[in-house]
Structure formats: C-alpha cells, structure tokens
Structure 1
Amino acid sequence: MDTLSGTGMVAVPAGRVTLSDRRTERSWQVEVASFEMSAFPVTQAWYAQVTGRRPSAARGDRLPVEGVSWWDAVRFCNDASRSAGLAPAYHLREADGTAGWDTRADGFRLPTEAEWEHACRAGTTGPRYGRLDDIAWYRDNSGEQVHVVGGKQPNAWGLHDMLGNVWDWCWDLYDAEVYGSYRVLRGGGWSDEHWSCRASVRRRSHPTYRIDDVGFRVVRSASAAGE
C-alpha cells in the first residue's frame, strides 16, 4: 500500500447490507459482491498527480482532496483508470448531465451507496465501527479543519476515515423523484456533529456543487480486477 500518496487499495469481502430511506420509511437489503476500495479518501497528492489540479481550500499532499464536485470525482476515476492502463468505468455526457456506468470495466469508480455502507460497517452492526474519537475527525475534535488521511484508527478491514474528515461522494442518486439529479454523500465530515458520523447517515448534494468538507474515495470491482 502506498501510504504516502494514499493510493493503496483494500479488499472488501462480499456481503449483505440493509439500506433505508427516511422519506418513504422503507428499508431493503442489498447483496454486495466483493470489491476493492481505497484505504483512504483520495488525497490531494493523488488528485494532483492525475489531474494536475489542486482545488482544495486547505493545502497538503496527505490531506483529502475536497472542494470537488461529483462530476470532478467521476472524471478523476476515468483519468486515473487511463493513467493505470485500465478501462474507464464511465461514459460521461456533461452537456446534458448524464453519466453511464460500464459494469464490465476494470477501472476506478465511485462506490455505490450499498458498497460504501457495507465497507464502512466492516461486519459490525452498530452505528459506528469503533469509539468515535478513536476513528473520526468531527466537530468535537477536529479543531474546525480537515486532517491528513489515516490519522485515526481504521475499521476491521483496514479502511481509514470512513467516518469523519470528509464526506464521500457515492454513485447513486439520492431520491430522483424528489431531488432529481442530486447524488448521495456518506460518512460525515470534520465540521459535523457526532450524530452525522454514523454508518447509516445519508446526505445529498447537487453533482455540480463543490464543498469544503466533501471528497471521495474510489473502488474497483473485484471481478473486473481479476481477483
């Protein structure tokens, strides 16, 4: 694992996760296939290496990139895939605001909401995978700023900062019937209260918005990666 640039990937086993929707008061189970997830949120060093840009408000190679839109994140996935000699996962048409996912591609992509929650929980069933102050940067301990990745304890599968520090963009639409193209955010951030830093908490944002507590991490399908 490359701990300097934050580019290491961790194997996440297959499993099942229960998702819920507060508006419709509906819950449902999702079967999740095995996949790989970046051990850390995408760092500014990795983002700059791939895109040549440093959009974040706070600066530091080992800080998570933030101030990136959902469109920035999926473009990064495609660019990082090409740089690594992998097939890009997305067909992007920003002019009309549409994006398609080629599930056969072996490149980097955003996690689905189900993949994200399954990876965050790492086999646990409670609201968090550990004591909050030990695993997350949030309002009570962050000093009102983002922190370098990997500074808190990982979950049982070796994933750091799944809760706190920066929110993670996910692939899914939040609630198309009510919110249109808004996409799902997961995980809580450095400025959030403790109740936002839970495995089940969902947030939404427009895919063009750039916010200083929102970043992302990447995954690869295990079957596409040849595992």
Structure 2
Amino acid sequence: MGTTTPRIDLTPVPPGRATLTDRRTQRSWTVDLAPFHLGTLPVTQEQYAQVTGEHPSTAQGNDRLPVETVSWRDAVLFCNSLSQQEELTPAYDFDAQGEPVLRKPVLRDPSPDGYRLPTEAEWEYACRAGTSGPRYGPLDDIAWHRGNSAERPHEPGTRLPNPWGLHDMLGNVWEWCWDLYDPEVYGTYRVLRGGGWFDEHWSCRASVRRRSHPTFRVDDVGFRVARSVRSVTN
C-alpha cells in the first residue's frame, strides 16, 4: 500500500437533473441529483501510487499523467483505500462473491463518508455544466483526442475547463462510472464516459456511453473520484 495520502482537489457540483440517452436502444431517462463534489481532474499516476503503491499505467516517465490501465474494480478499491487513509468510512462493501456493493446507508441516502465513483448521471450532468450542446466548448480547446494528442495521454488540466471548473471531462482518458451498462444484455459490464486520447471526435461528447467488463484494463481508461456534499462539509 501507499504511505502518503495524496491531495485530491474536488469541485462542487450543484443539484439538478440529468437526462441520459442510449443510442443503441433509443431509450432516454431522467435522474434527479443531489449536490456532490467531483474530482477536478482525473486521478493521476502519482496519486494512484501514493494510495496503492502500484504503477499500472502504460505511459511512463511522468507521474502527473492520468492513471490508466486500471479496471473498474481497481478504481473502486482505490476509493476505499483512499477513504481509509483519510480515516473516512469506505463507500463500498463486498458481497459473498467478493463483488463491490454500495453500503446500505448509501442506498437509502447517498452520502457516504468516503470517496466513490460518480454515477453515470452525475458524470454527464457535471460534464455538461449547464450547457446544452454535445460539448462544453470547441473540442481542440477542451480535450485531448486523436486529432491533437499525438496518440498519447497528456497531463490533466492542460486544456480549458468546463463552466464549473472541471478539466478533462472529455478526452484524455475514458472514465469509469459506478453504473451497470445494461445488465439484461451485458451482465456485469460497467459504464465508461468521456472519450480518450485515441478516440475520434464523435466519441468525445457528453452523451456518449461505452461499456466494458469490470476487470478490463487498457491504456486509455482511467477514472476520477466523487464525494457527497454532506461528507465533504461535515
């Protein structure tokens, strides 16, 4: 395990409502959201190593790059470990099969003490930041994508933020969300959002949904953390 607790900058996100759309099924649904805090940047290699003692990323030589080649399960374990380092109550328990589950109090009232992955609705709402288009600004100004990345990840925070101050919500690395993608069709596959450094422009949009197995690791997938407002302000 890591020995140093990293600094994770969080940005407040106001309450609101998100409407999500799945192009494959042509289904739309609306989610009401309480206020929460979201990582201003995706988790970096340095932060991941400080918590876990591990350096899984394919891109080497700069610890300020976003951590990648991490699975959904790795991201959940990071959240719990960081919570424990800060003496917070972890957001996740594990069932009899060893699969992560939200703690029961979180299901009744989503205000865990510790860090967690954002829900898919939280992610899209925070990404849009009150805007209505597919992106919160011109793509080259806000995102590292296939057209400008030289096919590699870049330091988070080097593109313009969205109106709420969140950087790299589009491009650089895909980000794991908590949600199952479509359990009736895809079983345990989880949601990925945001597009990555190797993606064409059409994948770097606020509404784009991608799915993957929770143990999947690849060099353009990372994550950022969330916390509920009550646990941050108490």
Could you say whether these structures have the same fold, taking a TM-score greater than 0.5 normalized by the shorter chain as the test?
yes
Cα distance in 2, alignment partners of residues 159 and 123 from structure 1: 12
Give 1:70's aligned residue.
Answer: 72
Give 2:101's aligned residue.
Answer: 100
Per the alignment, in what secondary structure is the counterpart of residue 47 of structure 1? helix
Cα-Cα RMSD: 1.3
Give 1:21's aligned residue.
Answer: 22
Residue type of the alignment partner of 1:210: R
1:211-226 matches, within 5 Å, as 211-226=218-233
Deviations 1:157-207 (A, max 9, x none): 110000000000000000001000000000000000000000000000100
Cα distance in 1, alignment partners of residues 207 and 185 from structure 2: 20
- Percent same amino acid among aligned pairs? 65
Give 1:140's aligned residue.
Answer: 147
Give the CA deviation at 1:208. Answer: 0.4
Residue type of the alignment partner of 1:12: V
Give the CA deviation at 1:85. Answer: 1.3
Residue type of the alignment partner of 2:220: D
Residue type of the alignment partner of 1:87: T
Query: Equivalent of 2:87, from 60, 85, 88?
Result: 85
Please say if 1:187 is aligned against 2:206.
Answer: no
Cα distance in 2, alignment partners of residues 6 and 123 from structure 1: 27
Instruction: List alignment gaps of at least 5 residues for structure 1.
Output: none
**Runs (4+) of structure 1 moved beyond 6 Å?**
none
Residue type of the alignment partner of 1:173: L
| Greater Cα offset, 79-88 or 14-23 | 14-23
Give the CA deviation at 1:97. Answer: 5.2
Q: 1:6 touches 1:62 (CA, 8 Å); kept in 2?
A: no
Question: With structure 1 as the length reference, what TM-score do the two structures score?
Answer: 0.95
Give the CA deviation at 1:105. Answer: 2.1
Residue type of the alignment partner of 2:173: V
Between the two proteins, the alignment pairs up a number of residues equal to 222
